[in-house]
Structure formats: C-alpha cells, structure tokens
Amino acid sequence: MLTILFDGIAYGMLLFVLASGLAVTLGLMNFINLAHGSFAMAGGYVTVILVNRLGVPFFASLPIAFLASAVIGFVFERALYVHVYKKPHLDQVLFSIGLVFMSVAAADYVMGSGQIFVQIPKFLQGQFEIYGIGIGRYRLLIIVICGLLTVALQFILANTRFGSRLRAAVDDSRVARGLGINVNWVFALTFAFGSGLAGLGGALGAEILGLDPTFPLKFMIYFLIVVTVGGTSSITGPFLASLLLGIGDVAGKYYVPTLGSFVIYTIMIVVLIWRPQGLFSRAASR
C-alpha cells in the first residue's frame, strides 16, 4: 500500500516538474499552450541520445537536457509564440496543436516510432525495503531531484528580484509594464525556463513514463489537468494537483485496473464544473 503511495508521489512530483512551466505560461499570458509536452519530449530524446549513443553519464545528461529544451523553448518563443499571444484562444489552440503534430512526426522521423528507454546507471536500478515499503532507487532519486527543484522554484518566485517581477507580471501585466518591467523579456525567460523544466522532466521521466513520438499527445491531458485543477495563481496549487493526480493514477491503475483512466477524467470534469478556477486557486483571481 505504502509502496503505491511512494510510487504515486514520485509520479506526481515528476508531473509537477513537467507541467509547472505550463502553469506559468497560462497564468502569465493567458496562453493555452498545448505543445508543452513537445518540449518535454525534446529533453527526453536529448538524454536518450547522450546516454545511449554517446555514452555521456546519466547525471551529466540531465542539465544538458534542461539547457537544450530551454534553448529550443526560447527560440520558439521569440520566433513564433510571441506573435500568437494576443490572438484569440482558438488561434492559440490551433497553433499549439499544430506544433504538437509537427513534433510528433519529426520525432518519428528522427528517432523512429518505437518506445525507447534510457539506460540508467546500475546503482539506480532495483529497489530496497525500509519497514516493508518497497522503495525504487530511481523513484527515490526522482523524488529527491523534483523535491529540490520545487523548493528552488518556490524560493526563486518568492525571494528573488526576477520572481517578484514575474509575480507582478502575472498579477497585472499592464501595471507591470507601467512600472518599467520588461514583460516581454520576463516572459521569454520564463517560457525558456519552463520549457527547460519540462525537458528535465522528460529526461527523468523517460524511464518511468516511456518515451515515444506520441509523448506530447499522451501526456497533454495530464499537464492540462495539473494546471486547470491546480489553478495558475501559485505554484502550490499545481504542486498539490500533481501529487493528487500522480497518487490517484497509480492507485487507480493498481486497485481498479478495469476502470482505466475513467476515474481521472471523471474527477477532472467534476472539478472543472465545480470550481472552474481550479481547486487550489485563490477565489476570483481572474
């Protein structure tokens, strides 16, 4: 039982790292970016190439995956996204679905359509037991890394100059502009950082989630659930939503496998109808 809880937490924290960038994009520019998973996939494939083909150590590949996805995110943001921010939601949806489809086909072309796993170091494989709880070494690593990232993220947002500018821009971009904050620049950096986090999540998750070209499509709904259920007004909301989703999904698949993803989708619909602003959102934030 506790093993499931443990796995669920690992899964949830992974989801959080994957989706946190999306929460910021959505909250900051009110932009619906369905292509967020594509940046995660990019990070995953970068790690696969580095580790499996070039023999780069796994731990060294993680920051590279982060940087690669961040750079890709930055380039796309400056070249394409920036032109779509002001367009209606329909355009944003069409545009980002287009990117998803292109990335899926491109990954298929470059990497092949099969599922790929990263060769993780020997000492991270297998599991050990503490008080009868089976602890996967790799999952423990994920919890540690993602936990550190979450704390760091919270620290950056709450205590740094960039964080305060970002929060100002989230709360009211016009006022922020008036205060002399370069909102465009803040957003480009945030977008790049969020893409980087997604890429790191993709790299870490390649082992558990599996990596294949349809990754952005398969997990799109999960990312969206995290941000819509969690709300975009803080990172605590998406964090809690990720944990709930992770635990719920793992437990659901273990205990009631016949129901499949039923439970998750139903809960999502109920929550969205019940609290359209998100379960953990400040009331009437927008």
Partner 1 sequence: MLPPPIAIRVATEWLAARARWQPLEVGFWIVAFAAIWLFPDRHLILTEIAWLGLFALSLDLILGYAGIISLGHAAFFGLGAYTAALLAKYEIINEPVLALLVAGLAAMALGFVTSFLVLRGSDLTRLMVTLGVALLLRELANRLGWLTGGADGLQGVSIKPVLGMFRFDMFGHTGYAYSLIVLFILFLIARRLVNSPFGLSLLSVKGNPLRASAIGISVDGRLIAIYTVAAGFAGIAGALLAQTTSFASLEVFSFDRSADLLLVLIIGGAGYLYGGLIGAIIFKFMQDYLSALTPQYWPFWIGLVLVVIVMVGRDRITSWTAPFRRIASHLNWRALARHVAASSSERR
E strand segments, the chain: 127-130, 133-136
Q: Are 34 and 12 in contact (CB under 8 A)?
A: no
In the stretch 214-233, what mask flags binding to partner 1 with x, by CB under 8 A?
Answer: ---x--xx--xx--x-----
Contact letters (x/-) for partner 1, 108-147, by CB under 8 A? xx---x----------------------------------
141/268 with CB nearer partner 1: 268
Helix axes 2-29, 215-230, angle to 10 degrees: 80
Residue from the set 102, 148, 151, 158 that interacts with partner 1 by CB under 8 A: 102
Q: Give the residue with the Cβ less far from partner 1, 140 or 272.
A: 272
For residues 13-33, one letter each, b for 16 or more C-beta atoms within 10 angstroms of the residue's C-beta and e for the rest, the string is: bbbbbbbbbbbbbbbbbebbb
Q: Which of 98, 160, 236, 255 binds partner 1 (CB under 8 A)?
A: 98
Query: Distances in Å between the alpha carbon of 178 and those of 29, 43, 88, 97, 183?
Result: 16, 36, 24, 33, 10
Does residue 85 belong to the site contacting partner 1 (CB under 8 A)? Answer: no
Which C-beta is closer to partner 1: that of 32 or that of 135?
Answer: 32
Verify binding: residue 100, partner 1, rule CB under 8 A. Answer: yes
Q: Give the residue with the Cβ less far from partner 1, 137 or 275.
A: 275
